[in-house]
Structure 1
Amino acid sequence: MTERYKPNTTVACVIHCQGKFLLVEERIKGAIKFNQPAGHLEANESIIEACAREIVEETGLALSPQAIVGIYQFSASDELAFVRYTFCIELSEQRQALPLDSAIITTHWLSLAEIIALGSQLRSPLVVKSIADFVQQADKNHPSQHTPLSLLNVDYF
Structure 2
Amino acid sequence: MTKASDSKNDVWRPHVTVACVVADGDRYLMVEEEVSGRLAYNQPAGHLDDLESLEHAAVRETREETGWTVALTHLVGVHQWRSSEHGDVVVRFTYAANPVSHDPGQPLDSGVRRALWLTRREIADLGERLRSPMVLMSIDDWLAGQRLPLSIVGNLMPDGGVP
Unaligned 5+ residue runs, structure 1?
Answer: 139-145
Aligned residues: 149
Do the aligned partners of residues 155 and 128 (structure 1) sit closer, same or farther apart at CA in structure 2, a change above 3 Å counting?
same
Q: Deviation of residue 76 (structure 1)?
A: 1.8
Are residue 155 (structure 1) and residue 163 (structure 2) matched? no
* Identity across matched positions, percent: 37
1:1-157 correspondence to structure 2 within 5 Å = 4-77=11-84, 79-91=87-99, 100-137=108-145, 146-157=147-158
Q: Deviation of residue 73 (structure 1)?
A: 0.8
Unaligned 5+ residue runs, structure 2?
Answer: 4-9, 159-163
Q: Is the 1:56–1:62 contact (alpha carbons within 8 Å) kept by the matching residues of 2?
A: yes
Looking at structure 2, the residues matched to 21 and 82 of structure 1 have their Cα atoms a distance apart, in angstroms, of 22
State the secondary structure of the residue aligned to 1:147.
coil
Do the aligned partners of residues 8 and 50 (structure 1) sit closer, same or farther apart at CA in structure 2, a change above 3 Å counting?
same
Q: Deviation of residue 91 (structure 1)?
A: 4.4
**Residues 7-66 of structure 1: per-residue CA shift (max 9 Å, x gap):** 100000000011000100000011000000000000110011111110110011122321
Normalised to the residue count of structure 1, the TM-score between the two structures is 0.86
Q: Is the 1:11–1:47 contact (alpha carbons within 8 Å) kept by the matching residues of 2?
A: yes
**Residues 136-156 of structure 1: per-residue CA shift (max 9 Å, x gap):** 016xxxxxxx11111111132
Looking at structure 2, the residues matched to 110 and 99 of structure 1 have their Cα atoms a distance apart, in angstroms, of 21
Residue 7 of structure 1 aligns with an amino acid whose one-letter code is P
Aligned-pair RMSD on alpha carbons?
2.2
State the secondary structure of the residue aligned to 1:90.
strand
Q: Deviation of residue 99 (structure 1)?
A: 5.2
Normalised to the residue count of structure 2, the TM-score between the two structures is 0.83
Q: Is the 1:23–1:37 contact (alpha carbons within 8 Å) kept by the matching residues of 2?
A: yes
Higher fraction of strand: 2
State the secondary structure of the residue aligned to 1:43.
coil
State the secondary structure of the residue aligned to 1:69.
strand
Q: Is the 1:99–1:106 contact (alpha carbons within 8 Å) kept by the matching residues of 2?
A: no
